[in-house]
C-alpha cells in the first residue's frame, strides 16, 4: 500500500537525520564550562575551565583543589604541623622539594630587591597583626626588636640534603609568595589533565590558560584601588598570563583616620609608604608575579619600574595615591586603561 511506503520513507529519513545530527554533535565536541569555588589559603578560590570531556574536567578540578590544600598544609604558618611551622619552631629542618623551591626562589627575590622582599619578615607581620582581629600599632621598641630578626642573608639552604637553617630566632612567612607558587602548580595539574582553556583565581591572583572557548583572549580586570571589589580601572588581555596585584585595600586597619596596610617596609618597620596604592605584575609564572608585586609596591614607581624593566618577560602597572597610572615600556597591547578618573603617565 502506498501509505505504508510513505511511512517507511518518512521513518527512514527521520532516522538518517537523527544519526546525522548525533554525529555532527560529536564532531563539534560540545565544549562546556566547569567551575569550582572553595576557600583555602585564607581566601576565596575559583577555578573555571572549558572542556569537552566532563569526566576529565571534574578530575582536573578535584585534583586542583587537592593540590591547593596540600600546599597549604605544607606552607601555612597558621597550621601548627606544617613544614614551615615546624621549621620555625626548630630553627632548622628538612623540607619537601616544594618548600625548598619556594624558599630558594624567595631568597633570590630578596637578593634582587636588596632585602625589600624578605620572607624572614614574620615577626614584624605578627607584631602588627594586620588582617587578624587584633591589629595594633606597635611601639618603636617592639618594632626594633622585630627588625633585628629580619635578614634573608642568614637563611641557609643545603640543596642536596633539602635542609633549611634559619638564623637565631628567625622565622619564615611565605605569605607573599605562596599563592603565586600555588597558581603555577594548579596550572600544571590542569595541563596534565588536558585542559587547554580556563582560569585560576586565588583570592585575586589570576592565572589564565590558553584562550576562551571561542578563541578570544581572557579579559582580566585590574582592581580599582579606590572603589569596590570587582570595579576595575583597566583590562589586561593576553594568553597564558599570570596577573598578580598587591594593594593597600586588601588587608588593613584604620586608626585615627590613618590606614595601615599589610605590606610592610622592612627598613622602617612600618607599612610601606612609597606613594603607591597598588601594583600589578604580568608574567608567565605566578611565583614571580607574587614576589614582584610586593617588591614593586614597597619600592615605589621609580625604583620599581627600573627593577621590572630589568627582568625579561615581566610587565608592571603602578597606581599612585594621586590616581596616576605608570606602566613598564613593553606593556603596550596588554593593558588598556578604561577608567578616566585615572591618568596614564607616559
Partner 1 sequence: MKKADKIIGIIAIGIVIFWGTTTYFFNQDISKNKLIAIIKQSGKVIKRIPLGKEENKEIKIIGEGNHYNIITIKDGSVAVVQGDCPHSECVKMGAINKTRQVIACIPNKLTISIEGEKGENDIDINSY
- Residues paired with residue 164 on neighbouring β-strands, in sequence order: 93, 157
Q: Does 250 bind partner 1 (CB under 8 A)?
A: yes
208 makes contact with partner 1 (CB under 8 A):
yes
C-alpha cell at position 174: 611565605
With respect to partner 1, which residue has the nearer C-beta, 44 or 161? Answer: 44
Contact 98, 74 (CB under 8 A): yes
Is 204 a binder of partner 1 (CB under 8 A)?
Answer: yes
Phi, psi torsion values for 232, nearest 5 degrees: -115, 155
Segment interacting with partner 1 (CB under 8 A) among 97-105, 182-190, 237-245, 304-312: 237-245
DSSP string, 111-147: HHTTTSS-GGGHHHHHHH-BTBS------HHHHHHHH
Q: Of 249 and 270, which CB lies nearer to partner 1 in the complex structure?
A: 249
Scanning 135-143, 163-171, 212-220, 258-266 for contacts with partner 1 by CB under 8 A, the matching segment is 212-220
Q: Other CB atoms closer than 10 Å to residue 136's CB: what's the count?
A: 14
Q: Least distance (Å) from partner 1 to the CB of residue 313?
A: 18
Minimum CB separation of residue 154 from partner 1 in Å reads 34
Identify which of residues 17 and 101 has a Cβ nearer to partner 1 in the complex: 17
Q: Does residue 140 touch partner 1 according to CB under 8 A?
A: no
If one asks whether residue 333 binds partner 1 (CB under 8 A), the answer comes out as: no
Binding letters toward partner 1, positions 44-63, x by CB under 8 A: --x-x-x-------------
- Which residues does 50 contact at the CB level (< 8 Å), separation at least 6? 31, 32, 33, 34, 195, 196, 197, 198, 212, 213
Q: Is 163 exposed, middle or buried (0-12, 13-18, 19+ CB in 10 A)?
A: middle
Q: Does 296 bind partner 1 (CB under 8 A)?
A: no
Told to check if 322 binds partner 1 by CB under 8 A, we report no
Region of residue 106 (left: phi > 0; alpha: psi -120 to 50; beta: else): alpha
Residue numbers at the binding site for partner 1 (CB under 8 A)? 2-3, 6, 9-10, 13-14, 17-18, 20-21, 24-25, 28, 30-33, 46, 48, 50, 199, 201, 204-206, 208, 212-214, 218-223, 229-230, 232, 235-236, 243-245, 247, 249-250, 280, 338
Amino acid at each position: 500500500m502506498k501509505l505504508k511506503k510513505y511511512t517507511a520513507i518518512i521513518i527512514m529519513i527521520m532516522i538518517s537525520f537523527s544519526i546525522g545530527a548525533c554525529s555532527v554533535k560529536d564532531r563539534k565536541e560540545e565544549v562546556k564550562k566547569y567551575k569550582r569555588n572553595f576557600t583555602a589559603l585564607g581566601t576565596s578560590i575559583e577555578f573555571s575551565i572549558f572542556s569537552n570531556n566532563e569526566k576529565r574536567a571534574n578530575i582536573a578540578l578535584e585534583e586542583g583543589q587537592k593540590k591547593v590544600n596540600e600546599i597549604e598544609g605544607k606552607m601555612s604558618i597558621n597550621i601548627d604541623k606544617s613544614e614551615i611551622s615546624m621549621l620555625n619552631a626548630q630553627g632548622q629542618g628538612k623540607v619537601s622539594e616544594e618548600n625548598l623551591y619556594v624558599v630558594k626562589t624567595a631568597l633570590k627575590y630578596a637578593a634582587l630587591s636588596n632585602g625589600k622582599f624578605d620572607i624572614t619578615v614574620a615577626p614584624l607581620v605578627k607584631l602588627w597583626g594586620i588582617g587578624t582581629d587584633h591589629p595594633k600599632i606597635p611601639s618603636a621598641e617592639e618594632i626594633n626588636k622585630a627588625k633585628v630578626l629580619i635578614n634573608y642573608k642568614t637563611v641557609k639552604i643545603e640543596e642536596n640534603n633539602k635542609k633549611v637553617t634559619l638564623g637565631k630566632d628567625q622565622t619564615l612567612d611565605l605569605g607573599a609568595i605562596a599563592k603565586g607558587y600555588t597558581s603555577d602548580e594548579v596550572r600544571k595539574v590542569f595541563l596534565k589533565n588536558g585542559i587547554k582553556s580556563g582560569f585560576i583565581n586565588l583570592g585575586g591572583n589570576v592565572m589564565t590558560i590558553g584562550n576562551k572557548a571561542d578563541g578570544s583572549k581572557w579579559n582580566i580586570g585590574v582592581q580599582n584601588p579606590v572603589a569596590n571589589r570587582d570595579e576595575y580601572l583597566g583590562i589586561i588581555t593576553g594568553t597564558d598570563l599570570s596577573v598578580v596585584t598587591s594593594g593597600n585595600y586588601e588587608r588593613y586597619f584604620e586608626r585615627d583616620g590613618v590606614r595601615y596596610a599589610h605590606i610592610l617596609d622592612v627598613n622602617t618597620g612600618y607599612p610601606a609608604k612609597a606613594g603607591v596604592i597598588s601594583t600589578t605584575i604580568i608574567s608567565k609564572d605566578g611565583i614571580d608575579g607574587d614576589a614582584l608585586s610586593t617588591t614593586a609596591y614597597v619600592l615605589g614607581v621609580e625604583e620599581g619600574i627600573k627593577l621590572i624593566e630589568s627582568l625579561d618577560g615581566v610587565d608592571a602597572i603602578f597606581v599612585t595615591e594621586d590616581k596616576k597610572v605608570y606602566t613598564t615600556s613593553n606593556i603596550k597591547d596588554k593593558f588598556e586603561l578604561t577608567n578616566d578618573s585615572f591618568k596614564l603617565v607616559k
